Amino acid sequence: MNITRREFGGLVAGGAILARTGGLGAAQTTKIAGVRVGTQSYSYRDRSLTDAIAAMQALGLSYCELWSGHIDRDSPVQVPPGGNRREATRAWRLASSTLDYFQAVRKRFETAGVTLTSFDIPFNNDYTDEEIAAVFEHGKALGVSVITSSAQVSVAPRVEPFAAKANMRVGFHNHSRIAPNAFATPDDFATAMKAGPHMAITLDIGHFTAANFDALAFLEEHHEHILTIHLKDRKRDQGGTFMFGEGDAPIANVLTMLRDKNWDIPAQIEYEYRGEGTDAEMAKMLAFCRKTLESK
Domain-wise residue ranges, the chain: 6-294
Which one is the CATH code of 6-294: 3.30.360.10, 3.20.20.150, 3.30.930.10, 3.40.50.1000?
3.20.20.150
Q: What is the mean pLDDT of residues 268-277?
A: 96
pLDDT at 78 (0 to 100): 85
The sign one gets for the Cα dihedral 250, 256, 260, 265 is positive
CA distances from 108 to 5, 52, 53 (A): 34, 11, 8
Packing angle of the helix pair 98-112, 85-94 (nearest 10 deg): 80
Residue 18 clears pLDDT 70, i.e. is over it: no
Q: Which of 180, 256, 178 is nearest to 216 (CA)?
A: 256
Task: Give pLDDT tens digits for 218-269.
Answer: 999 999 999 999 999 999 999 999 999 999 999 999 999 999 999 999 999 9
Residue 4 clears pLDDT 70, i.e. is over it: no
CA distances from 23 to 122, 127, 244, 290 (A): 35, 43, 23, 15
Q: What is the mean pLDDT of residues 57-75?
A: 96
CA distances from 259 to 8, 192, 243 (A): 20, 28, 22
Q: What is the mean pLDDT of residues 190-195?
A: 98
Residue 14 clears pLDDT 70, i.e. is over it: no
The burial of 119, by beta-carbon neighbours within 10 Å (0-12 exposed, 13-18 middle, 19 or more buried), is given as: buried
- The answer to whether 88 touches 63, Cβ cutoff 8 Å, is no
Q: What is the mean pLDDT of residues 199-219?
A: 98
Q: Is 25 or 215 the better-scoring residue by pLDDT?
A: 215
Cβ-proximal residues to 175 (8 Å cutoff; 6+ apart), any chain: 150, 182, 183, 184, 204, 207
Q: Which of 30, 36, 8 is nearest to 258 (CA)?
A: 36
CA distance 202 to 149: 8
Q: Which of 140, 147, 99, 143 is nearest to 120 (CA)?
A: 147
